[in-house]
Amino acid sequence: MAKTFEVKLKKSTIGCSQDQIKTVRALGLKKVNQTVVKADNPANRGQLYKIQHLVEITVKN
């Protein structure tokens, strides 16, 4: 079974750069406190690194 991340949007994207807003939307997050599950791969890790100050990340096995 592959590792996954549970990603929860904790802060609003108001005032963020357009690049960060697009990254949040690409992960499937639309509202504050919304949670999505994403696969652990280099592409998703890069996206999460870019918006780490906006989200809460939990590693699932």
CATH code (residue 23) = 3.30.1390.20
The model scores a pTM over 0.75: yes
Mean pLDDT score, 19-46: 97
Predicted confidence band of residue 12 (pLDDT cuts 50, 70, 90): very high
On the question of pLDDT at 43 being above 90, the answer is yes
* Total number of domains constituting the chain: 1
Residue 17's domain comprises 4-60
Residue 19 in tokens: 């690049």
Q: What span, in angstroms and rounded, lies between the C-alpha atoms of 41 and 46? A: 9
Q: Which residue has the higher pLDDT, 37 or 1?
A: 37
Average pLDDT, the chain: 96
What percentage of the chain carries pLDDT values higher than 70? 98
